[in-house]
Amino acid sequence: MDSVSLKGRKNGYEINLNANANFDDNITDLLNLLQRLSQSEQEDHGDLDFFLNTGRRLLDEPQIQRIQALFDKFQHFKLAHLAADVLDKSQAQTQVRKQGIHAEMSVIRSGQEVVYESDVLFLGNLHAGGVLKSTGSIFVLGQCEGILYAGYPDNDMAVIVGDISQATQVRISDTIEIIDPKRQHFSKDTIALINDLHVLDFDTSDHLLALRPKLYRKMEDNL
Amino acid sequence: MATSLVITSGKGGVGKSTTAANLGTALALMNKRVCMIDLDIGLRNLDVIMGLSNRIIYDIVDVVMGRARLHQALIKDKRFDDKLYLLPAAQNTVKNIISPMNVVDIVNQLRPDFDFILLDCPAGIEQGFQNAIAGADGAIVICTPEIPSVSDADRVVGLLEQREMKLAPRLIINRINRSLMNEGNTMDVDEITKHLSIGLLGIVFEDSNVILASNQGTPIVMNPDYNASQGYRNIARRILGESVPLMTLKEHKPGLFERLFGKRSRKH
Ligand SMILES: Nc1ncnc2c1ncn2[C@@H]1O[C@H](COP(=O)(O)OP(=O)(O)OP(=O)(O)O)[C@@H](O)[C@H]1O
Ligand SMILES: [Mg+2]
């Protein structure tokens, strides 16, 4: 039985490589398929894109190169996409970490920087001179005297929620605000965010749904 | 086998050397064998506070460079029989001549002969600091009730925690001015301890006799009558595992009777 199957697509083809078959068989069958296609396709069609799916088989680098080499033999065939239905464990873990919300409970001391690639629920103690940085949003329940940096390096949609009155600075994406409790009024449910004019601005967290609906829903799902 | 403790602070001039000298002396008075090592290369002090300067022949750099053997460079403090020794720092060399490995080596050579090795750390967090903490099983962090000092202590505790030493770092708050603290003009003991979130080993009051004693080369702890002396003695006892209550911050305000009649009023 053939270990590869073909489906037409606009401007190209989708090919499924059967993960239950031997990978060498996949390669042989794929080569045959491509040869047949190149004979039947008209020259004037221009370049054809191929979308390959390996099902439940995860390819390693040499295997990917073998497939790429097959396509290099045909001038008008382009390997546009190569994917599997499964994920590497470490990749999966990184994704989970990016999606979920991470609870941080430690003491971040002067000179220390703690970095997250996710939203962070901060329950710890951020000392003056310390930095809590995340690519996502930061929800503060602990004490903050240092620098809070959300949306690092360029996520404008990130917010910082909670009591930031003691913090030295808050930063979101490429904006910075030096906190001066004498000048601004902060409460336990202050929300810092970048407004439409791309200026770091403050509001109260009951407006989170209106201001950042996506984030609001994500929080609802996670907590 | 000795326990080695580094006395460190980040900030300069908060009382590291004074603490090293007084704790070393207090432990020796309690019959422990103690070796103090001055690691402030180029700015040695510990020998002065101990009144041992004139007896220096070799120093730690001589030992590292192989110009002297370790036991030749150790100065025995004759006031305490065989209990207290000092390995002095060099006064006239560049600091980077000693490496963390050298310190580890020296400490390990001394371990079998002592109960405690106290490492007097230089200010800052550069090479000299790295050298000092390399040889230590645990750290005593000194700070004064001032924000810059507490902030530097915080930085140092962070660096110490990264190293995961055998013993958790502990805090001494030095130069406490009771009336300033009681009136709320400085951070108080609880605030500082809570902020740094490490265990409190003890407190020492501001006491001008500390300076007089250092100038005379007799650490204040040798005279039990002073407030600061009691502070150091309590700390030494806690290091040995005793539980000693913290000294009270309350100032003794003489009552009316006492002011009028002095001590006589009590005799009735
Ligand atoms: N409890 C105290 N009361 C009054 N004076 C004190 C007290 N403790 C220390 N001092 C004084 O403070 C000064 C600095 O102390 P010391 O030299 O021990 O600090 P250090 O931290 O070792 O300094 P360095 O960073 O320069 O090594 C000295 O003059 C000392 O006598
Ligand atoms: Mg000193």
Please say whether the beta carbons of A50 and A79 come within 8 A. Answer: yes
| Interchain CB contacts (distance < 8 Å): A and B | 25
| Overall domain count for chain B | 1
Nearest to A127 among B154, B159, B161 (CB): B154
Look at B158 and A109 and tell me if their CB atoms are within 8 Å.
yes
- What range defines the domain where residue A81 resides? 4-86
Which atom, in ligand 1's list, is nearest to the CA of B176? 1
- In this structure, the answer to whether residues A132 and A178 fall within a common structural domain is yes
Inside any domain, residue B260: no
Chain B residues in contact with A110 (beta carbon < 8 A): 151-152, 154-155, 158
Q: Among residues A86, A104, A124, which one ends one of the domains?
A: A86
Picking from A88-97, B126-135, B250-259, which range would have the lowest pLDDT averaged per residue? B250-259
Q: Using 50, 70 and 90 to split pLDDT, how confident is the model at A101?
A: confident
A209 at B interface, C-beta within 8 A: no
Biggest distance spanned by C-alpha atoms of chain B? 70
Q: Which of A86, A66, A62 is nearest to A25 (CA)?
A: A66
Q: What is the pTM of this model?
A: 0.73
Look at B155 and A111 and tell me if their CB atoms are within 8 Å.
yes
CA distances A52 to A38, A71, B55, Å, are: 17, 11, 83
Please say whether the beta carbons of A122 and A102 come within 8 A. Answer: no
- In this structure, the answer to whether residues A67 and A102 fall within a common structural domain is no
ipTM above 0.90, yes or no: no
Q: Among residues A63, A86, A109, which one ends one of the domains?
A: A86
Smallest CA–CA distance, residue B127 to chain A, in Å, is 17
Inside any domain, residue B267: no
pLDDT per position as a tens digit, A135-157: 999 999 999 999 999 999 999 99
Q: Output the CA B63–ligand 2 centroid distance in Å.
A: 21
pLDDT per position as a tens digit, A196-214: 999 999 999 899 889 999 8
Range of A7-16, A101-110, B138-147 with top mean pLDDT: B138-147
Beta partners for residue A89, in sequence order = none
Q: Among residues A32, A61, A86, which one ends one of the domains?
A: A86
Q: Using 50, 70 and 90 to split pLDDT, how confident is the model at B264?
A: very low
pLDDT above 50 (res B267): no
pLDDT per position as a tens digit, A32-69: 999 998 888 766 667 889 999 999 999 999 999 999 99
Q: Output the CA A171–ligand 1 centroid distance in Å.
A: 39
Q: Using 50, 70 and 90 to split pLDDT, how confident is the model at B95?
A: low
- In this structure, the answer to whether residues A113 and A60 fall within a common structural domain is no
Give the pLDDT score at B255.
Answer: 66
Look at B151 and A129 and tell me if their CB atoms are within 8 Å.
yes
Nearest CA in chain B to A108: B158
Inside any domain, residue B262: no
Query: Hunting for tokens 């006064």 — which residue is that?
Result: B91
Per-residue pLDDT, averaged over B63-84, amounts to 95
Give the pLDDT score at B266.
Answer: 42
Q: What are the residues whose beta carbons fall under 8 Å from the beta carbon of B1, sequence distance 6 or more?
A: B111, B112
**Ion ligand 2, residue ranges at CB < 5 A:** B 16-17, 45
Tell me how far apart the alpha carbons of residues A170 and B246 are, in angstroms, rounded to a whole number: 39
| Overall domain count for chain A | 2
CA distances A107 to A129, A148, A152, B196, B205, Å, are: 12, 14, 21, 9, 28
Helix (H, G, I), strand (E, B) or coil at A155: coil
pLDDT above 90 (res A91): no
Q: Which residue would you say has higher pLDDT here, A209 or B136?
A: B136
Percent of chain A surpassing pLDDT 70: 97
Please say whether the beta carbons of B98 and B64 come within 8 A. Answer: yes
Q: What beta strand segments (E) does chain A contain? A: 4-9, 12-17, 48-53, 77-83, 101-104, 107-108, 113-116, 119-122, 125-126, 131-134, 138-140, 143-144, 147-150, 160-162, 169-172, 175-178, 190-194, 200-204
- In this structure, the answer to whether residues A72 and A97 fall within a common structural domain is no
Q: Using 50, 70 and 90 to split pLDDT, how confident is the model at B165?
A: very high
Ligand whose nearest atom lies closest to the CA of B232: 1
Q: Which of B141, B242, B245, B247 is nearest to B203 (CA)?
A: B247
Whichever domain contains B44, its CATH number is 3.40.50.300
Whichever domain contains A196, its CATH number is 2.160.20.70
Give the pLDDT score at B265.
Answer: 42
A110 at B interface, C-beta within 8 A: yes
Chain B residues in contact with A125 (beta carbon < 8 A): 197
Give the pLDDT score at B249.
Answer: 81
Chain A residues in contact with B155 (beta carbon < 8 A): 109-111, 129
- In this structure, the answer to whether residues A98 and A30 fall within a common structural domain is no
- In this structure, the answer to whether residues A51 and A15 fall within a common structural domain is yes
Chain A residues in contact with B197 (beta carbon < 8 A): 107, 125
Per-residue pLDDT, averaged over A184-196, amounts to 91
Look at B154 and A110 and tell me if their CB atoms are within 8 Å.
yes
Nearest CA in chain B to A130: B155
Tell me how far apart the alpha carbons of residues B109 and A221 are, in angstroms, rounded to a whole number: 60
- What range defines the domain where residue B180 resides? 3-250
Q: What beta strand segments (E) does B179-246 contain? A: 199-205
Nearest to B157 among A109, A125, A128 (CB): A109
Give the pLDDT score at B261.
Answer: 60
Give the pLDDT score at B268.
Answer: 42
Tell me how far apart the alpha carbons of residues B25 and B49 are, in angstroms, rounded to a whole number: 11
Q: Which residue would you say has higher pLDDT here, A200 or A99?
A: A200
Picking from A6-20, A87-101, B86-100, which range would have the lowest pLDDT averaged per residue? A87-101
pLDDT above 90 (res A10): no
Tell me how far apart the alpha carbons of residues B31 and B21 are, in angstroms, rounded to a whole number: 15
Look at A112 and B151 and tell me if their CB atoms are within 8 Å.
no
Give the pLDDT score at B257.
Answer: 64
pLDDT above 60 (res A1): no
Give the pLDDT score at B116.
Answer: 98
Rounded to the nearest integer, the mean pLDDT of chain A is: 90
Helix (H, G, I), strand (E, B) or coil at B11: coil
Nearest to A129 among B154, B161, B195 (CB): B154
Nearest CA in chain B to A146: B151
- In this structure, the answer to whether residues A110 and A206 fall within a common structural domain is yes
